[in-house]
Amino acid sequence: MAIIGLWAGAVYEPTAIMQLAEKAGAKPSAAVHLASFGTGLLSIGTIIGCIMLVPLAERFGRKATLAGFYALMVISIVLSFGWAFYLPHALVPFIVVLFFLGIGGGNFAMFSLWLPEQYTTDRRATAFAFSTSIGRFIGAGVTFLIGALVHGMGTLGTPVALTAVAFVIGLFIIPFGYETRGTELPE
């Protein structure tokens, strides 16, 4: 889930910003600079999200924290690509929402925290590697699917906004996860 949304945002946000900037009358060189700025803002948001995640997970638990981050991803993906992208003066609202998309993308830090807590020492490295790697193959496939949808629909916003569905699915799966807050690392 996490890989699909963050990759979609990170892969397609520079193009979205360039399109919005040129639509607003910016020169191509200025559009490229704005795309770089937007990517930096998304990245800063992600770093802040990663830093915030651990104390939140310690206070509220792994499941509740991940659900909060997934909810933020749903909201920020829909707001950025499904709403702001289509506004008449979309550039500033789109870039502002990117920051919150980045914070939601901090859900990646949960992999390093929660996955090792669920497996015994003799399986921990293999389970962690498999869990974090298999999603990348799925994420890569979805990225190509989004590209095909962009081509077929003739727009960038709606196909990327549809990636919010992955996080909605994740919100339904999270309650079935094993809560590890306050437990010792399995031996």
Q: What is the pLDDT of residues 99-121, one digit of tens each?
A: 999 999 999 899 889 988 988 88
In a domain, 185, yes or no: no
65: nearest Cα among 161, 169, 177, 183: 177
Q: What is the pLDDT of residues 130-172, one digit of tens each?
A: 888 888 888 888 888 998 999 999 999 999 999 999 999 999 9
Rounded Cα–Cα distance for residues 160 and 78 (Å): 9
Per-residue model confidence (pLDDT) at position 42:
95
In a domain, 105, yes or no: yes
Per-residue model confidence (pLDDT) at position 115:
87
Residue length, the chain? 187
In a domain, 107, yes or no: yes
Q: What range defines the domain where residue 31 resides?
A: 2-176
CATH number of domain containing 56: 1.20.1250.20
CA distances from 144 to 91, 141, 154, 159, 176 (A): 25, 5, 15, 11, 29
Other CB atoms within 10 Å distance of the CB of residue 78: 18
Q: What does pTM read for this prediction?
A: 0.92
CA 126, 178, 74, 36: dihedral to nearest 10 degrees? Answer: -40
Domain count along the chain: 1
In a domain, 128, yes or no: yes
